[in-house]
Chains A and B, each alone.
Chain A
Amino acid sequence: MTTNIREQLSIRQERDLIICRNRVKEAAVKIGMGIVNQTKLITAVSELARNMLIYGGGGNVLLETVTRGREQGVQIVFEDKGPGIADINKAMQDGFTTGKSMGMGLPGARRLVSEFFIESTVGIGTTVKIIKWKNG
């Protein structure tokens, strides 16, 4: 039996990105995720957390280890109360950006994880949930 990790983090400043990345790494190591999947996951987390900081004015991150059948994974939920995304489909396209980034954040992050869910309401905020399976 492995003890499930459940941790709440808040992203308010740049330094929090590093802390968030380290926590995710610890969780990934704990379930025995390989180095490539670890790197993919942490990179996706870095993209999404930075997005949240730049566009959503910061927010909260819920980090959990999850199990489905025999598969173990790390699940992370990013929640901000920012302006929200008007056109999610457009935001999920490569190269689309409203800010000064490369527009790789959302679509790039989606390619790096096993499962990706996004929900956004203009004026209310954005929630992104990702799961990376140990062997996924």
Chain B
Amino acid sequence: MGKFLLVTIQVDLYDRLALTLEEDLIQMVHKTGARGVLIDISALSIVDSFMGKIIGNIAAMSSILDAETVVVGMQPAVAITLIELGLPLPGVYTALNVERGMALLTARMPDETEDEDVDDD
């Protein structure tokens, strides 16, 4: 399987910390050449427009670096609130849990095995 980065956000982040996360994560995507980023937000009790923007940014930036972003484990109440707030997080893939997120990323890498075959030669 290709390289995926998994980030678990454990606590409610205040804004500067969230910005730091964005920066560090993009650095890591670049450094490791990861093809996918999983952001586990199951521990987050709220996602406001700032946090929503950070998630959107990470997805957009990763995409430029040829990596897909999947947000996993969003709480139902958080999802309802984001919709009401007017932030449906377009361009971000979502999955119920880390396992499903991994499966989604793997399914979206059709040329993965071929790449490995080429590497073997």
Contact = CB atoms under 8 A, between A and B. Distances in A.
28 contacts: A14-B14, A18-B14, A21-B46, A25-B45, A35-B77, A36-B76, A39-B46, A39-B77, A39-B78, A39-B80, A40-B77, A40-B80, A43-B48, A43-B81, A43-B85, A47-B49, A50-B50, A101-B49, A101-B50, A101-B53, A102-B49, A102-B52, A104-B49, A104-B85, A105-B49, A107-B86, A108-B86, A109-B85
B23 interface: no
B47 interface: yes
A39 B77 CA distance: 6
Interface of A: 14-15, 17-18, 21, 25, 35-36, 38-40, 42-43, 46-47, 50, 94, 101-102, 104-105, 107-109, 111-112
Interface residues of B, number: 22
A40 B14 contact: no
Contacts of A25: 45
